[in-house]
Amino acid sequence: MSRVIGIDLGTTNSCVAVVENGQPTVIPNSGGYKTTPSMFGISQDGKRLVGHLAKRQAITNARNTVFASKRLIGRRFDDPEVQKSIDLCPYEIVRGPNEDPRIKVGGKTFTCPEIAGIILREMKRVAEEYLSETVQEAVITVPAYFNDTQRQCTKDAGKIAGLEVLRIINEPTAAALAYGMSRQGDEKIAVYDLGGGTFDISILEMSDGVVEVLATSGNTFLGGEDFDRRIVQHLVEWFEENEGMDLRSDTMALQRLKDASEKAKCDLSMRDVVEINLPFIASDSEGPRHLNYELTRETLEGLVHDVVEGTLKSVEQCCVDAGVTPADIDQVVLVGGQTRMPLVQRRVTEHFGKRPHKGVNPDEVVGLGAAVQAAALLDSDNDMLLLDVTPLSLGIGTYGGHFARLIDRNTTVPVSKGHIFTTTRDDQSAVKIRVLQGESDMAAENDLLGEFVLSGIRPAPKGEPEIEVSFDIDANGIVSVSARDLATGKEQSITVSSTGTLSDDEIDEIINEHDLYEVQLKD
Amino acid sequence: MGVDSVDNPMNRVVALAANCDATQLKLTAAEGYLLSRIDGKTPLRLLREIGGIPPSNVDECVELWLDDGVIEVVAGKPEAKPKGASASAATTATAATAATAADKMDAGESDGQPFPPPIDESMLDERLDISLDIQRRILEFEAGLGRPYHTLLNIDVGSQPKTVKRAYFKLSKEFHPDRFFRKQIGDYGARLNRIFKKILEAHEMLSDPELRGVENQAAASDTFVEPPQQPTSRAALSGPAKTAPDKNAPPEATPAAAPKRPLTKLERLRQRMPFKINHAAIAERRARAAEIFKAAEYSQRAGRLKEAEANIRIAITFDPSRSEFKEALGSLRIEAAGARAAKLMAASSDRMPDSELREVLTLLEDVLPYRPHDPDLNERAARVCLKLGKLDDAAEYAETLIARTPEVATYHSMLGKIERERGNSDEAMSAFETALKYDEEDVDARRAIASMRIGARDAARGGRS
């Protein structure tokens, strides 16, 4: 039987792992690195580059190097997040025929699942090289807030990479699995995941290899980049005060400031003070100006203090949702590079009253967890069981544009839930059941997954007929919805199939094209 | 229940019909539990006591099942021969203890409950990827899914949440469909789904503090919360169906969330669960509302009334339950509008132009909903309405005043004036007379009565001439 790998498909870096002799292990790439940049580029002479090779030429070939495409996957072109990326990214983002964002590099347009597929294919290749055998199946992680379309697009990306995706699991859940692999006894753990662009907090309970998600909360617009932005803002203000020049409209200078800020931020996790030195940052009639500033850890902490406090607010909310107090948490697991910051570690320690768990690497733990889940599913020796949950609430649209929630988010699957509904008009002979997914109380603000009509209701005054609507989610997350008229026993149902932004034909086309490309490489 | 005659229907013994496949029945938890206790030995009298189900429901169930051929009366051999009341009483006691204290699933056999229930060996399939032992275990567990939740999880009634969780995890590890991922398991996949969902439900019910109370109470008092579903209720529902279906009824109408059938207690609990109130979110909204309200109070003190009003409105939107917010909005508007109205009224003379009177009325109407019984406001409103010729409104205000404080003469004389304007001279006269009754000195009333009498006389004269 061929091996199944776990892949953490990250915004900035990706990581692949496998369970070997009962132990989850990160697979290093040919350069010896345990993580691979989630970057793809087309060089000046038309070569396709992935990972470190793509990153190395990113500065000189910015227009043809794709990074952070995870922010775009599964979204619509008009999504504010996509519009933000258009402003920030040096590569070109265009509107695709399915209203999806597409990326134009090297004179060719790529869809987002295709870019993700290229990165997954690279991870697959890394694993195959290491294991000396072909790999066909994988478990892939996504952020907890990813909706159905984003998850489906990630699955499509796997397909494009030639992988069958056994499961898509949430990143914090994966981290908990990796942590729980080596633990016995009952524990409640909190996974504090502060990544580049988002913040996720999950509280899980584990006992004897069973892992249950109690609650998930987070902030999709809060992450390490906010830290960088604060530093940039501070530098711009300082420069204005000391040099009398406003750098805000100078995109080139801002990009340099952003890079320098990110680096300074990382350095300050190890040191107390760093020097930011940007010669020729700007010039005016008096000649060139240079930026030379000493940033202390104290100053940085002052700048981002409220951002960190903001994450703790989410932590509190999550504790309330899970029905626990911070003192009930036995272990805190930190995930994401930003959790290396001493301030974050200190505040988390203070909040929970205990030091975070030291045994996991925040960059690798998610990938390891994905491998653990892969083994748990297929390896009969593996004793782990993840009681996974639905990521978003499910329900139907009701009279007046409201959303009647039948299954709350974070409900353990498989699960069935039902409710009785009725008609809104006298002698109404049919009802339309609109299956929706989302967290808003207004139907229009949630995603429509499917709809069907139950007809043949016997004429009766409004409010009298009883229509039982049941939702059923199986262990693979497949949702089926049925409506039954209790008076006549008449029933209608659908199985909601999630759709990504690409049709099956489009995916096949992409796969064929990539196969051609593979052949070309070998020539 | 002291009668021990064989003829007594209570002594009838029922058993599962030979040709009936109990696994194919659609049963509620309580029904399944009852059915599991029908073993061909226990007389109906005992069944009525041990099932944890109200006796009347046991009778209904048994009758229904007899009609449906699910069970049959095992005639002629009442095994629990009434040797004496003591023997049956002992059995009852055992069963009752089992139900209330430690109803373990493996204890089932010892006190006569058939668990594990007999399974259909023909359903075992050697070709599958799961061992026959596990197949047997799955079939047995599935057949017993109708048992009470704590029996299902194999824990004591009233167990701590931690025990509930551990039992739930243990069974999850055994029956979660992921444990058999990609295995050839035939129709055991569907069985596992059913089992896991039931375990999940049991965990959910037993670990929710609110629901757990109900469940435990029910288990302890031997009245199971879910009475068996009666087919009669369903028949009644489909009864009053009208003919001539309306073809025009468009299908896009979505159903309204309104459960109609009188639901059983457990059904109600179950249905409430998906719509759980998010207390945390509400608490947050309330806290926000309180903060905003504080800001409003500050603005009010600082004299920024417009700003204060806007803030209180937001606070009310966030937390409509706090009556003091609404009161505060009322007094604020009185402060704002009332001040202006008072100013206008103070300056009021009979020569005040209608436009200003109308403004006064608007202000008063704005404020009155917050203080519907304020005598001062009502009186002003009545006067202004009278002046503006809005007599019906004026009368309403005056009547409000009189209803609250009937002993104030001026209110009656005001009503009199209004009625006179309306042309109801009899009502006007009686109102003025009432005014005089409370206050002989009421000038308005005296004058009015005098002039009305003169008027009446003149009218009479004019009529004669």
SS3 B62: helix
Mean pLDDT of A445-457: 89
The CA distances from residue A99 to A21, A149, A496, A512, B65, in Å, are: 46, 13, 22, 23, 59
pLDDT recorded at residue B216: 57
Taking residue A381's Cβ as centre, other Cβ atoms within 10 Å add up to: 8
Peptide bond preceding A90 in cis form (omega within 30 of 0): no
What residues pair up with B14 in beta bridges, in sequence order? B73
Mean pLDDT (whole number) for A73-94: 88
User: Strand (E) positions, A171-243?
Assistant: 186-194, 199-207, 210-219
Q: What is the pLDDT of residues B123-148, one digit of tens each?
A: 888 888 888 899 999 999 998 888 88
Q: Which residue has the tokens 């404080």?
A: B405
Q: What pLDDT sits at residue B52? A: 54
> Whole-angstrom Cα distance, residue A38 to residue A52?
9
pLDDT digits (tens, 9 = 90+) for B180-200: 998 888 889 899 999 999 999
Q: Which of the residues A114, A122, A148, A171 is marked catalytic?
A: A171
Task: Report the pLDDT averaged over residues A350-354.
Answer: 93
Distance of CA A11 to the CA centre of its chain: 8
Nearest Cα to A135, choosing from A167, A117, A161? A161
* Chain B contact set for A376 (CB, 8 A): 178
pLDDT of amino acid B50: 59
The reply to whether A458 touches chain B by the CB within 8 Å rule is yes
* Residue A320 backbone dihedrals phi, psi, to 5 degrees: -65, -45
Maximum average pLDDT range among A298-312, B44-58, B444-458: A298-312
What residues of chain B, 97 to 126, have a C-beta less than 8 Å from chain A? none
Q: Do B178 and A488 touch (CB under 8 A)?
A: no
CB of A320 within 8 Å of a chain B CB? The answer is: yes
B/e letters for A431-462, b = 16+ CB within 10 Å, e = fewer, are bbbbbbbbeeeebeebeebbbbebeebbbbeb
**Amino acid making up residue A203:** I
Q: In what order do the strands lie in the sheet containing A467-473?
A: A415-421, A467-473, A479-485, A491-496
Position B219 scores a pLDDT of 54
Total Cβ atoms within 10 A of residue A6: 34
Mean pLDDT, all residues of chain A: 89
Instruction: Quickly state the pLDDT bin for B9 (edges 50, 70, 90).
Output: low
Q: In chain A, pLDDT over 90 holds for what percent of residues?
A: 52
The predicted structure's pLDDT at residue A171 = 93
User: How far is it, in rounded angstroms, from Cα A226 to Cα A127?
Assistant: 34
How, if at all, do strands A164-170 and A137-142 pair?
parallel
What ipTM was predicted for this assembly? 0.86
Q: For A323, name the nearest residue in chain B, comparing CA atoms only.
A: B280
- Cα A72 to Cα A224: distance, rounded to the nearest angstrom: 18
Least confident of A372-381, A418-427, B28-37, B387-396: B28-37
Is B247 at the interface with chain A, CB within 8 A?
yes
Q: Is A122 assigned a catalytic role? A: no
- pLDDT score of B92: 42
CB distance from B437 to chain A under 8 Å? no
Q: Is A70 a catalytic residue?
A: yes
**pTM for the whole thing?**
0.64
Cis previous bond, B78, omega within 30:
no
Asked whether the beta carbons of residue A378 and residue B197 sit closer than 8 angstroms, the reply is no
Range with the lowest mean pLDDT among A417-421, A431-435, B312-316? B312-316
- Report yes or no: B26 at the A interface, CB cutoff 8 Å: no
pLDDT value at residue A119: 96
**Which has the closest alpha carbon to B219: B274, B159, B168, B170?**
B159
Most confident range, picked from A277-281, A300-304, B328-332: A300-304
Segment B349-358 shows an average pLDDT of 72
| Percent of residues, chain B, with pLDDT higher than 90 | 9
A263 is catalytic: no
